[in-house]
């Protein structure tokens, strides 16, 4: 059977965009004390026991080498109120952190108040993921925020969760 692809890169992007996700900001702090942060929707759960999660970071990201050198990372699951923060950390910029308020976790990674949940992890594995590097971490510190509408991402844009009228908890 031929393994010739039947799609272009553009078509692949669009098809993958059919997968609705939440949005996170993954943060870290280098040994020199530099703060790192990137918006990522590639976050996913891997294992409950031990508690493991993953995200993938583009090889083109400026912070890739720095993230790889860190022993820890933190994942902030964003609420709909944090769109601005999401936009800010989705750009390569020297002053991403200017004027941003954050708390410091036990790992010294920045945590954003108002996030739906925050996980602090130590990095267990880095895997080759083609044009991305897959980071797998084991979570050991977790905080759950006040319930709020999650920030969602679908087909290249932010979306709001539409409550299901038949769901008593949402109705």
Ligand X SMILES: Cc1cc2nc3c(=O)[nH]c(=O)nc-3n(C[C@H](O)[C@H](O)[C@H](O)COP(=O)(O)O)c2cc1C
Q: Which residues bind ligand X (CB under 6 A)?
A: 23, 38-42, 55-58, 61-63, 90-92, 153
Dihedral angle computed from the Cα positions of residues 148, 149, 150 and 151, in that order, rounded to the nearest 10 degrees? -130
Q: Which structure tokens are listed for 151?
A: 């920030």
CB of 156 to ligand X, least distance (A): 9
CB of 123 to ligand X, least distance (A): 16
CB of 87 to ligand X, least distance (A): 7
CB of 40 to ligand X, least distance (A): 3
Q: Residue 131 in 3-state DSSP? A: coil
Q: What does the alpha-carbon distance between residue 150 and residue 21 come to, in Å, rounded to a whole number? A: 10
> Please, what sign has the CA dihedral across residues 157, 162, 57, 105?
positive
Q: Which is nearer to ligand X, 15 or 106 (CB)?
A: 15
Q: Which is nearer to ligand X, 87 or 106 (CB)?
A: 87
Measured in degrees and rounded to the nearest 5, phi and psi for residue 21 equal: -135, 170
Q: Which is nearer to ligand X, 2 or 100 (CB)?
A: 100
Q: What does the alpha-carbon distance between residue 39 and residue 94 come to, in Å, rounded to a whole number? A: 15
Q: Which is nearer to ligand X, 42 or 108 (CB)?
A: 42
CB of 46 to ligand X, least distance (A): 15
Q: Which is nearer to ligand X, 130 or 147 (CB)?
A: 130
Measured in degrees and rounded to the nearest 5, phi and psi for residue 158 equal: -75, 145
């Amino acid at each position: 059977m031929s393994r010739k692809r039947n799609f272009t890169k553009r078509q692949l992007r669009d098809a993958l965009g059919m997968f609705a996700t939440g949005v996170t900001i993954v943060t870290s702090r280098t040994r020199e004390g530099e703060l790192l942060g990137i918006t990522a929707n590639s976050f996913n759960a891997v294992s409950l026991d031990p508690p493991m999660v993953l995200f993938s970071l583009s090889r083109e990201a400026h912070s890739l080498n720095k993230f790889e050198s860190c022993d820890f990372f933190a994942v902030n699951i964003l609420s709909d109120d944090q769109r601005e923060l999401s936009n800010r950390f989705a750009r390569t910029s020297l002053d991403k952190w200017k004027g941003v308020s954050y708390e410091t976790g036990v790992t010294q990674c920045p945590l954003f108040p108002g996030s739906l949940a925050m996980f602090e992890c130590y990095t267990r594995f880095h895997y080759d993921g083609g044009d991305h590097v897959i980071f797998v971490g084991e979570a050991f510190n977790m905080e759950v925020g006040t319930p709020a509408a999650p920030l969602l991402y679908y087909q290249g844009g932010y979306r709001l969760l539409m409550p299901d009228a038949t769901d008593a908890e949402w109705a």
